[in-house]
Amino acid sequence: MARFTILEHDHPHLHWDLLLETAGERVPTWRLPCPPGGLEVPPKQIPAPLGTGSCTTTTQVQPGRGEVPFRMPVERIADHRRLYLDYEGPVSANRGIVRIWDTGLYIPLVCEENYWEVRLEGSRVRGFVALSRQETAEKEWIFTMMAEKSGSLWERDVPKKCE
């Protein structure tokens, strides 16, 4: 299993960065407008990162239930340096401060150029996540999460290694 980290980042607006460790020195990163599940931060406090006007999701996971997938638009951003998997503090060039919101291990299920499936096992987030690139724009992706309590969105027995 590889490591994942979700960083809370306050610049240029409040958002969360999902980092997935791979074999290289840089790690694939996605900017999330809400924390996974969207349950901990009231939407009025979250500016619109993708021009949506708010922290918009397709469905909301009920606290403690996880019956429905949680979906939201996310942005694929520049790969981050590996050190950010463990880093908290100021970002160079006055680009705000990052704090670790969650960290843990992930099981890679599918890792393709335009589609990733992983199982996250962190202290706050546990479940299956799919990241799929939209055909309309290179940086626009959809984040879909199924909480562990409800079971898998995908029927996969043997994970593939992502490198």
- Contact (Cβ atoms closer than 8 angstroms) between residue 123 and residue 104: yes
Average pLDDT over residues 126-143: 93
Nearest Cα residue to 141 out of 97, 91, 81, 77: 77
The angle at the Cα of 75, spanning 61 to 2, to the nearest 5 degrees, equals 75
22-76 pLDDT, tens digit each: 999 999 999 999 988 754 443 433 333 343 334 544 444 344 444 467 889 999 9
pTM value surpassing 0.85: no
Confidence of residue 17 (pLDDT cuts 50, 70, 90): very high
CA distance 36 to 145: 8
94-121 pLDDT, tens digit each: 999 999 999 999 999 999 999 999 999 9
SS3 50: coil
CA neighbours closer than 13 Å in the CB half-sphere of residue 73: 15
Tell me what pLDDT residue 38 has. Answer: 59
* 131 has pLDDT over 80: yes
Confidence of residue 162 (pLDDT cuts 50, 70, 90): low
Tell me what pLDDT residue 58 has. Answer: 47
* 147 has pLDDT over 80: no
Q: Where are the domains of the chain?
A: 2-150
